[in-house]
């Protein structure tokens, strides 16, 4: 079981589904949400301002690609910079409603991306990820 994960998606129903499935499977003790990439970066900006010795960081990020304000791609482009290097060990799972081979290829260029999976989140998906994270 993970201690904390961050779910980044603009759809409140999707975020609710994440929460229900994650809680049902005991995949993580705590779920933090952000409605777009910009809000997710603000979350990490706030962590940078805190005492690093007491921080409990997310161990995994579920990231949607198509969001208003800041897309998942824009988030990854910002997140991979030196400004966020303290968080580069956090793995990202891209969850998308479309599985475009070009998107899958592009996601593999980001070292923090663990996998690219199709929505919706499911119990079997979390079981698969649990085995991959161990």
Q: Is the pTM of this model over 0.85?
A: yes
* pLDDT over threshold 70, residue 102: yes
* pLDDT over threshold 80, residue 99: no
Tens of pLDDT, residue by residue over 21-46, are 999 999 999 999 999 999 999 999 99
Q: Where are the beta strands (DSSP E) in 23-122?
A: 28-34, 60-63, 91-96, 113-118
Q: Where are the beta strands (DSSP E) in 11-133?
A: 28-34, 60-63, 91-96, 113-118
């Amino acid at each position: 079981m993970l201690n904390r994960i961050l779910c980044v998606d603009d759809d409140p129903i999707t975020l609710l589904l994440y929460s229900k499935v994650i809680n049902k499977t005991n995949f993580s003790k705590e779920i933090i949400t952000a409605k777009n990439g910009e809000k997710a970066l603000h979350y990490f900006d706030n962590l940078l301002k805190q005492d690093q010795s007491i921080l409990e960081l997310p161990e995994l990020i579920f990231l949607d690609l198509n969001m208003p304000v800041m897309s998942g791609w824009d988030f990854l482009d910002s997140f991979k910079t030196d400004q966020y290097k303290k968080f580069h060990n956090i793995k990202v799972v891209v969850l998308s409603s479309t599985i475009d081979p070009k998107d899958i290829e592009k996601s593999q260029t980001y070292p923090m991306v663990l996998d690219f999976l199709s929505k919706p989140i499911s119990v079997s998906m979390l079981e698969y990820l649990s085995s991959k994270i161990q």
